[in-house]
Amino acid sequence: MYAQLSAAVKPTRVLFLARSESSVRMDVKALRAIGMKECIHLADASSAIAFLRKEAEGGKIASVSSASLIRSPGRSSGNAVDLVVCDESLRDGPVSAFLTTFARERNLRAKPVLVLAGAAASAGELRAAGLSVLQRPYSRNDLEGMIQKAMSPMRPPLRYDVFARKKEASAKEASGAGSVGIAAAVMTPSDAPGKKKKGGPFTIMDWYDKGIAHLKAGELPDAERAFMRVLDGQEDHPEAALGLARLHHATGNEERMRRYLLKAAISCLRQGDALRADIIAGRLPERLGKNLYISEAVACLEEGRCKAAAVAFLDAARERADKPLHQLVARACLQTPRPDESMAKVCDAFERMGHVGTATSLRRRLLHYRPFDGCEPASWLDRFPRLKEAVYVANHTVQVWREARAY
């Protein structure tokens, strides 16, 4: 069972600061799982400070127009925020800009704060300022333990001088939110990896927590199985993909590590978190990170997942309006060992997905072995590429047979 927070330290109303709601979707789910009832999302430091000042003054905090508020029954906008949770970067810059002002104002800094960090270096700097910091990826037990620490009356005072010494964060620090931090391990206590949940089947979050616990315990095969169960239930789950990337980094399998980094970046893109996707892509070789969707399509084709490749091609076409779909498919398939076979499989996948017109167009353009000049097929046989291939094979067979008889 997961350790339950006592009522005294269980946050029911949380102010979440992050550049976008999609970038902290998994974190909000984890908070809800331990009892959070209400979340207010703000994307920039100025709005957050204005919000907290109004709250401290007893004003109507709901008047902050940029706040995205999700309330549960029985809660009102006048209830105090129990906890401030910060991502490493906000829409108007790094979170240090918010923390500097927050720590300077006496009526604000009494509020408990928890910062979610991605890299070990940035986590160390934040801890030096007296903040409670939780590194990603983490389990629910990690989250509960850090919330207890953040909300404890014995927590250390904030040291705003640490932020004052760094008035402007470097571009690297500004883009540090959500970085992968593969080699960093979260050393907080966790569940016994094999412990079975009581009261029902495992959820996706349960399997994710098990994966993290196994990973920390060094039980890599069990961790891999748990993370794969997460991806089986929710394919676009960036945290599980990052967990697998960290796992393969630990085993020295660089190719698999890059595969799951790519998957994590794609998941972030599909969730609308382009900034975090760019940060993760920065850890990939240039050939993979330059065009994430095409790289994902190639990887899916090599794995035999043609439908997933077709979906990636559609995403690439939406992102690259200047490139027709047939060009994207052709260039990607040329990176596979068998380009023609890959193209045929992509066309079949589009047809099974209901995109019959797209499949027909791709077959006409790609499978009659002519340059992509946009011209109409030279003969009626060009409209039936598989039949044309059969005719070529038959002609070749007859020719060989004739030559054999000549001797």
Sole residue written with tokens 């997961």 = 2
Q: What pLDDT score does 1 carry? A: 35
Q: What pLDDT score does 245 carry? A: 92
Q: What pLDDT score does 248 carry? A: 92
Cα–Cα distance measured from residue 84 to residue 11, given in angstroms and rounded to the nearest whole number: 10
What are the tens digits of pLDDT across the range 30-59? Answer: 888 888 888 888 888 888 888 888 887 765
pLDDT at 267 over 70: yes
Cβ within 8 Å of residue 148, ≥6 positions away:
5, 9
Cβ within 8 Å of residue 42, ≥6 positions away:
15, 16, 17, 48, 51, 64, 66, 67, 68
Cα–Cα distance measured from residue 254 to residue 403, given in angstroms and rounded to the nearest whole number: 52
What SS3 class is residue 167?
A: coil
Distance of alpha carbon 210 from the chain centroid: 19
pLDDT at 71 over 60: no
Of the given ranges (7-11, 266-270, 313-317), which has the lowest mean pLDDT? 7-11
Q: What pLDDT score does 119 carry? A: 66
- Element of type H or E holding 100: helix 96-104
% of the chain with per-residue pLDDT over 90:
7
Cα–Cα distance measured from residue 85 to residue 20, given in angstroms and rounded to the nearest whole number: 13
Q: What pLDDT score does 403 carry? A: 63
Of the given ranges (26-40, 194-208, 347-361), which has the lowest mean pLDDT? 194-208
Question: Where does the pLDDT of residue 209 fall: very low under 50, low under 70, confident under 90, or very high at 90 and above?
Answer: confident
The model carries a pTM of: 0.52
Q: Is 59 exposed, middle or buried (0-12, 13-18, 19+ CB in 10 A)?
A: middle
Cβ within 8 Å of residue 393, ≥6 positions away:
none
Residues forming beta bridges with residue 68, ordered by sequence position: 41
305-321 mean pLDDT: 87
What does the DSSP assignment read for 336-396? SS-HHHHHHHHHHHHHHTT-HHHHHHHHHHHTT---S--PPPSSGGGG-HHHHHHHHHHHH
Handedness of CA 286, 229, 187, 5 (dihedral sign): positive
Question: Where does the pLDDT of residue 372 fall: very low under 50, low under 70, confident under 90, or very high at 90 and above?
Answer: very low
Cα–Cα distance measured from residue 183 to residue 173, given in angstroms and rounded to the nearest whole number: 18
Cα–Cα distance measured from residue 134 to residue 374, given in angstroms and rounded to the nearest whole number: 54
Cα–Cα distance measured from residue 85 to residue 30, given in angstroms and rounded to the nearest whole number: 12
- Name all domains of the chain by residue range, CATH numbers in brackets: 7-174 (3.40.50.2300), 205-290 (1.25.40.10)
The answer to whether 83 and 152 are in contact (CB under 8 A) is no
Contacts within 8 Å (CB) and 24+ apart, 353-356: 353/307, 353/310, 355/310
The answer to whether 168 and 118 are in contact (CB under 8 A) is no
Cα–Cα distance measured from residue 172 to residue 261, given in angstroms and rounded to the nearest whole number: 19
